[in-house]
Amino acid sequence: MNPFDLSGRVAMVTGANTGLGQAIAVGLARAGADIVAVGRSAPTETAGLVQAEGRAFHAIPADLSSIAPVADVVQQAIAVAGQIDILINNAGIIRRADSLDFSEADWDAVMDTNLKTAFFLSQAVARTWVADSRGGKIINICSMLSFQGGIRVPSYTASKSGLAGLTKLLACEWASKGINVNGIAPGYFATNNTEALRADEGRNRDILARIPAGRWGDPSDLSGAAVFLASDAAAYVHGTVLAVDGGWLAR
């Protein structure tokens, strides 16, 4: 038996319409999983890519800036897909300003989406697993700023540091219930979010000089880590945050 095979499993991925979330969804589909995508924007392109792999795709529109839709999202996912086996907490936002000027509104918006909703969505899904006496896999998409400080992104750094801590806490509580909770910390990836950095010749040069692999990550580089952590191959992996960063943290 292939321990990386996800056939017969359903993965719920938040923020799967573009970028890293899309790559994770497609990677999981290639490994055999059906996909439930949750987010504000219609994941039309992701749907086509997943269906091209021969897997079922369901989209659930929801604004994850608050926990209001969480219970309904879980109920809808189970209704349309039959079950949830894997949860990928990928949806996230960022706000940039000097810490001396940073607003409460920007603090709350980022913390609510990146940390609060991730926790309560994990809780809601885990409750269904415990009620059914079955396990599952939760993967939180963390950040380099789960380990480093960064600049001008205080709420983002706090939220992603908190998400790494939450990953460990939930692993401690839920490992005995057959639930694996782990995280992935992406490094610098070529996505819409980093387009301005890559277009800035100086910043691009400085970033590449720090990455031992010598290149920006391609979103597809993230999918292998997600498949591993979502699969039986990672059955004894609990509470880890796996950096996929081209060696950035090792430099």
Distances (CA, A) of 131 to 60, 89, 128, 135: 23, 21, 5, 10
**Active-site residue numbers?**
156
Flag whether 66 is in a domain. yes
Tell me the residue range of the domain where 156 lies: 10-250
Is the pLDDT higher at 192 or at 241?
A: 241
Q: For the residues 59-81, what does the mean pLDDT come to?
A: 98
Flag whether 175 is in a domain. yes
Flag whether 5 is in a domain. no
- The confidence score (pLDDT) of residue 193 equals 80
- The confidence score (pLDDT) of residue 197 equals 85
Flag whether 3 is in a domain. no
Supply 109's token pair: 């918006």
**Positive or negative: CA dihedral 18, 24, 29, 30:** positive
Does residue 154 carry a pLDDT above 90? yes
Q: Average pLDDT, whole number, for the chain?
A: 97
Supply 20's token pair: 């890293």
Cβ neighbourhood burial of 93 (10 Å; 0-12, 13-18, 19+): middle
Does residue 183 carry a pLDDT above 90? yes
Does residue 101 carry a pLDDT above 90? yes
- The confidence score (pLDDT) of residue 194 equals 86
Q: For the residues 54-65, what does the mean pLDDT come to?
A: 98
- The confidence score (pLDDT) of residue 196 equals 82
- The confidence score (pLDDT) of residue 28 equals 98
Which residue in this structure is represented by tokens 């949750």?
38
pLDDT digits (tens, 9 = 90+) for 121-151: 999 999 999 999 999 999 999 999 999 999 9
Q: For the residues 181-198, what does the mean pLDDT come to?
A: 92
**Cβ atoms 219, 17 nearer than 8 A:** no
Which residue in this structure is represented by tokens 């509470």?
239
Partners of 244 in beta bridges: 186
CATH code: domain of residue 127: 3.40.50.720
Flag whether 1 is in a domain. no
How many domains would you assign to the chain?
1
**Positive or negative: CA dihedral 207, 211, 215, 221:** negative
pLDDT digits (tens, 9 = 90+) for 199-247: 999 999 999 999 999 999 999 999 999 999 999 999 999 999 999 999 9
Establish how many alpha carbons lie within 13 A of residue 211's alpha carbon, considering only the half-sphere containing its beta carbon: 20
Does residue 117 carry a pLDDT above 90? yes
**Cβ atoms 227, 167 nearer than 8 A:** no
Instruction: Report the C-alpha gap between 28 and 125 in whole angstroms.
Output: 18
Instruction: Report the C-alpha gap between 87 and 141 in whole angstroms.
Output: 11
Distances (CA, A) of 94 to 156, 185, 193: 6, 15, 10
Flag whether 115 is in a domain. yes
Instruction: Report the C-alpha gap between 53 and 56 in whole angstroms.
Output: 9
- The confidence score (pLDDT) of residue 31 equals 98
- The confidence score (pLDDT) of residue 1 equals 87
Instruction: Report the C-alpha gap between 229 and 234 in whole angstroms.
Output: 5
Flag whether 122 is in a domain. yes
Report the share of the chain in percent with pLDDT over 90.
Answer: 97
- The confidence score (pLDDT) of residue 192 equals 84
